[in-house]
Amino acid sequence: MSFSYNTKNELCRLLPQEVCCAVAECYGVLMFCNTFSAREIRVVTGNMALGLRLKEMFAFAFSTEFDVMPEPDKVGKQAYVITDAAKLGRIFEAFGVLPESLLAHHVNLGVLEEDCCCKSFVRGAFLAGGAITDPNKSYHLELVTDHFNVSRETYSLLLEMGFSPKETSRSGNYIIYFKQSSAIEDFLTFVGAPIHAMELMSAKIEKDMRNSVNRKVNCDTANVTKTVDASASHVKAIGVIEGAGLLETLPEKLRQTAALRVEHPELSIKELADSSSPPVTKSCLNHRLRKLVEIAEGVEKTLDNRL
């Protein structure tokens, strides 16, 4: 199962403490579900745990059963439907709305006066219209509804609760989303999914450690390549000087450095400086090696002029 599916399963294990919270959660579900109108309520989900929660929450909040329920043995996405006018009227009444006067959905903040009810509303919104990506791949959590006013008012509600989401639209839907891992962790903890918030945190730590190791390996590889290339240029220069019969005419310190480089081509400049007798600074040894390269370049230039 996906990370999003399992997160919703964790939320479905929460038990509502008060009727007002059950009403608020159902409110969030309906504002972000497939259909919520004066004629029909239709919630479509492939999550059996969510389907069972819908049945229990609607019974607890409104003393109402769905008119259409999926068969127990069916798999895949199934619809939970209410079309009975009396039931619809009772549900709309709980939200302070008359079905016949409904033109466009708005979030009635009077239903969400308590902090616990706000939390329940957001949980319901995520259960019905939310999704979250696998944190091992990317960080993204979104709430999707086809009601513009509901999206804007839920966005404002999240701001009041201390979150900083972003907004966009896609294919006629309105989307509230989070991209930062820390914000998603806080959101999951807030709505009641601390286990998956911890899983996201662990995935982030693991990813950061893996990236750190990769950066170190890449850096070490680059350093090795740099050392090999530098050593090859030094050995080549010394070969040119020796081939011209000039090696023995060099000052003793340059001859020692040349011999040390040829004997230890695998060492870095720092390691080569420490291996000198007596040891010298990295800057000093680097200066000697540059001098050998300059001499070799002079030899090659002289040979080219003769040709």
For residue range 136-166, list pLDDT tens digits in order.
889 999 999 999 999 999 999 999 999 999 9
Rounded to an integer, the average pLDDT of 89-99 is 88
In this structure, of 16-20, 48-52, 168-172, 189-193, the range with the lowest mean pLDDT score is 16-20
Q: Which two tokens stand for residue 136?
A: 């091992």
Bridge partners of residue 168, in order along the sequence: 175
Radius of gyration of the chain (CA): 35
Separation of alpha carbons 290 and 202, rounded Å:
50
pLDDT of residue 272: 86
According to the model, what pLDDT value does residue 306 have? 67
Tokens (6 digits) for 27: 């409110």
- Residues 265-278 have a mean pLDDT of 86
Side-chain half-sphere of 138: how many Cα atoms within 13 Å? 8
Give the Cα separation of 95 and 124 in Å (integer).
14
pLDDT tens by residue, 23-55: 999 999 999 999 999 899 999 998 999 999 999
pLDDT score for 276: 86
The band of 307, judged by pLDDT with boundaries at 50, 70 and 90, is low
Angstrom distances, CA of residue 74 to CA of 1, 47, 55, 57, 236: 17, 11, 16, 21, 76
Look up residue 11 and give its two tokens: 């939320």
| Most confident stretch, 12-21, 148-157, 281-290 | 148-157
Distance, in Å, from the CA atom of 77 to the CA atom of 75, rounded to the nearest integer, reads 7
Residues 128, 130, 135, CA angle at the centre, nearest 5°? 145
Mean pLDDT of 242-258: 87
**At residue 110, does pLDDT exceed 80?**
yes
Query: What's the pLDDT at 300?
Result: 83
pLDDT at 177 over 90: yes
The closest alpha carbon to 145, from 121, 174, 107, belongs to 174
- Comparing 206 with 58, the larger pLDDT belongs to 58
Q: What is the pLDDT of residue 265?
A: 85
Place of tokens 């001859």: 255
In this predicted structure, what is the pLDDT of residue 229?
83
Q: Give me the pLDDT at residue 29, please.
A: 96
- Count Cβ atoms below 10 Å from residue 279 Cβ, excluding itself: 10
**Mean of all residue pLDDT scores within the chain:** 89
The angle formed by the CA atoms of residues 5, 150 and 160, to the nearest 5 degrees, is 85
Instruction: List C-alpha distances in Å: 25 to 5, 38, 251.
Output: 18, 19, 87
Q: So what's the pLDDT on residue 161?
A: 92
Instruction: State residue 70's pLDDT score.
Output: 82
Predicted pLDDT of residue 230: 84
Does 123 have pLDDT greater than 80?
yes
pLDDT reading at 195 higher than 90: yes
Residue 142: what pLDDT? 97
| Cβ proximity of 187 and 141 under 8 Å | yes
Contact criterion met (CB below 8 Å) for 234 and 246 = no
> What is the distance of C-alpha 305 from the center of its chain?
63
Tokens, residue 111: 């239903």
For residue 207, pLDDT over 90 is answered with no
